Amino acid sequence: MKASRLLALLTILLAGNSLCLAQPAGEPKESKTVVIKAARMFDGKSERVVSPGVVVVSGGKILAAGPNASVPAGAEVIDLGDATLLPGFIDAHTHLTHQASDDWKQDLLDALHKTVAEQALDATEYARKTLLIGFTTVRNVGAEDLIDVGMRNAIRDGKIVGPRMLVATRAIGATGGHCDPVAGFRPDLFDKNSDISQAVANGADAVRAAVRTNIRNGADVIKVCATGGVLSLTDDVSAPQMTQAELDALVDEAHALKRKTAAHAHGAEGAKRAIRAGIDSIEHGTFLDDEALDMMKTRGTYLVPTLMAAEGIRERLDKGLHLPPAIEAKARAAIAARDSMFKRALAKKIKIGLGTDAAVYPHGRNAEEFRLMVSLGMRPIDALKAGTSVDAELLGIADRLGSLEPGKLADIVAVPGDPTQDIRQTEKVFFVMKEGVTYKNERSK
């Protein structure tokens, strides 16, 4: 292992020790029985909220849930009043190891100047913010220097505060494509002996090797760039970047090794190749045509539309902030196409999960994705499902997360009022529990 990786992991662990002294939420799961009550409850799967909301928790798991759940003698009762209990939210598309700012050039310099250790320390704050707004689980679909692996492990072990993480390590892509970190820079700028391009793969055998390398390095999920991207310097946003044979090899190898797969895909042709290969989800999907959407419906492929990514870029454009002309042109085209694609996917009843592309916009705003989905025609109850039970199914964790049911892990959030009547209540989470440990309770404020 490179010295820089060891330093990054050590830095995360030291930072975690410091955080846990001030944050009792990092302590082991409570063994006592706790009953959480509120005026309403949404279990993550049903067609409506029920009243009252009662969830009984012990040992980090849910013992009982629903209006008729009995309160055990001697249990601690947390009454949250006129609120709705929900499963902990899930974001299926995040990048917790970095964050864009309003200054594109400064972001570029930061990526070149900041040490791995400093990036790791920044990431601990992004993780904390994400948990405290109610997202108890995330799928992190691309990071450098295995910072995501170190974060996942440190969070899992209670050393830092953050959401449960499923990580992809490096996204796999083609030379010169969206997932080639060298694209757009001088060819001799980077050390040819470094591993900066280890996930850049050309040909089916090289792609299989990249999948194996990522899994060896700790990947829970395999991410591939099947098309160009909006924020990359040198590619067409809608052009395919992997051949059918390469995508077939990637999905086959990942599934054989029991890993789910996700394809960054804005353009229709690249998405179709990924869908034919058996990809589990299409990320973004901006320029999908009806044929691609119909293929997804037939094969059960999930769509993760990342509406907040376009929102974050739109805000930059509205402020008149600098983006390179090629990126600005791609961004405007993507924003123009996004809404129509989502509405057609919704009409075709494609499985839609919630993912935000956190880092393209500032961390801590993930819940605004619910509002954007509803604004484009999704029922509030279905938006809530997208960010709970649907995402749990997509990530392969529905046996333990995504709904308030006996035997599931006690990931519970509360919002004021009724989010099925006002979806923006999801942006006001005031209670957060993850595996039976309370990280936030602002009921008394």
Q: Report the CATH number at residue 229.
A: 3.20.20.140
Asked if residue 314 and residue 218 are part of one domain, the reply reads yes
Does a structural domain hold residue 393? no
Asked if residue 71 and residue 141 are part of one domain, the reply reads no
Asked if residue 76 and residue 110 are part of one domain, the reply reads no
Does a structural domain hold residue 15? no
Asked if residue 429 and residue 293 are part of one domain, the reply reads no
Residues 6+ apart with CB under 8 A from 215: 222, 254, 257, 259
Asked if residue 45 and residue 181 are part of one domain, the reply reads no
Number of other CB atoms surrounding residue 223 within 10 Å: 30
Does a structural domain hold residue 392? no
pLDDT at 11: 44
Asked if residue 111 and residue 83 are part of one domain, the reply reads no
Do 171 and 199 contact (CB within 8 A), yes or no?
yes
Does a structural domain hold residue 375? no
Does a structural domain hold residue 142? yes
Calpha distance 64→58 (Å, rounded): 10
Does a structural domain hold residue 187? yes
- Torsion sign (Cα): 185, 189, 191, 192: positive
pLDDT at 444: 58
Do 68 and 46 contact (CB within 8 A), yes or no?
no
Q: What strands lie across the sheet with 221-225, from one edge to the other? A: 221-225, 260-267, 281-287, 302-304
Enclosing domain of residue 421: 25-87+404-441
Final residue in a domain of this structure, among 336, 366, 396: 366
**Residue count (the chain):** 445
Does a structural domain hold residue 331? yes
Asked if residue 129 and residue 68 are part of one domain, the reply reads no
Number of other CB atoms surrounding residue 115 within 10 Å: 13
Asked if residue 232 and residue 205 are part of one domain, the reply reads yes
Asked if residue 216 and residue 361 are part of one domain, the reply reads yes
Q: Report the CATH number at residue 62.
A: 2.30.40.10
Calpha distance 433→61 (Å, rounded): 11
Asked if residue 96 and residue 73 are part of one domain, the reply reads no
Final residue in a domain of this structure, among 366, 388, 413: 366
Final residue in a domain of this structure, among 319, 343, 366: 366
Asked if residue 331 and residue 216 are part of one domain, the reply reads yes
Instruction: Give the total number of structural domains in the chain.
Output: 2
pLDDT at 29: 52
Calpha distance 128→16 (Å, rounded): 11
Does a structural domain hold residue 371? no
Calpha distance 152→272 (Å, rounded): 32
pLDDT at 15: 41
Q: Which stretches of the chain score pLDDT less than 50? A: 1-4, 6-28, 193-197, 445
Calpha distance 368→140 (Å, rounded): 18
Asked if residue 70 and residue 170 are part of one domain, the reply reads no
